[in-house]
Amino acid sequence: MKGIIIQYTIFLMIVFGIVSTAIYVMFVKRRFFHTEEEYCLMNMPKEKLEICLKLRRILEIPMRVLTIITALFVLWVAIPVLKDIKYIMSGKYQLITGEITNEIEKNGTAWRDTVILLSNGKKVELSVDSLSYQKGDIVTIMYLPNTKAGVIVQ
């Protein structure tokens, strides 16, 4: 479980960096490119200045939209991790025991596999490292309820 905690900590640091950058660009700097005055202060030739200003007009709005979409996507992915922080901090993870009901590919390249457990008549889909398990095995998994990431403990 420590490996998952480290991965999520690194993930949250990356999310914080992306969101901070997006906030800085969108609300503090309020632009992606130099202003016309800044270009003039660079003593640029007139034709190069016109190309830069034209490029700025063409790209400014798509860059803002792309930044907003990226920030929203990162937050959408990060919200389950943020909801699981209370479980990570307290060390009180969810436990579930059940039978693996799906076939697991044993190609050895998967970082984490999706395992579907049948527990008390209810199907639960979790992401675990399951290379040493197969369909029909009865396992106990310690997992985070919002991200559905876990570790097989038995």
59-98: per-residue pLDDT in tens?
878 877 887 888 888 888 788 888 888 888 888 888 988 8
- Take residue 25 and report the two structure tokens written for it: 């660009």
pLDDT score recorded for residue 109: 54
Please name the residue that has the structure tokens 């905690």. 5
Please tell me the predicted confidence (pLDDT) of residue 8: 75
Q: Which two tokens stand for residue 126?
A: 């979790």
Among 11-15, 29-33, 74-78, 123-127, the minimum mean pLDDT is found in 29-33
- Average pLDDT over every residue of 4-32: 74
Mean pLDDT of the chain: 79
Return the pLDDT at 48.
Answer: 84
Hey, is 11 helix, strand or coil?
helix
Q: Which long-range contacts (CB under 8 A, 24 or more apart) does 69-73 make?
A: 70/18, 70/22, 71/18, 71/19, 71/22, 71/23
DSSP one-letter code for 111: S
Which pLDDT does position 108 carry in this prediction?
56
Size of the chain, expressed as the number of residues it contains: 154
pLDDT reading at 27 higher than 60: yes
**What mean pLDDT is predicted for residues 7-25?**
78
Whole-number Å distance between alpha carbons of 37 and 52? 12
pLDDT value for 122 = 84
pLDDT over 80 (residue 132): no
Q: What stretches of 31-118 show up as alpha helix (H) in DSSP? A: 36-41, 46-83, 85-90
Give the whole-angstrom CA distance, residue 134 versus residue 141: 14
Main-chain phi, psi angles of 112, to 5 degrees: -140, 145
Q: Is 80 exceeded by the pLDDT of residue 28?
A: no
- 138-144/113-119 β-pairing: unpaired
What whole-number distance in Å separates Cα of residue 89 and Cα of residue 143? 14
- 21-30, 57-66, 119-128, 145-154: least confidently modelled range: 21-30
Residue pointed to by tokens 């398990």 = 133
Share of the chain above pLDDT 90, in %: 0
Write the DSSP symbol of residue 140: E
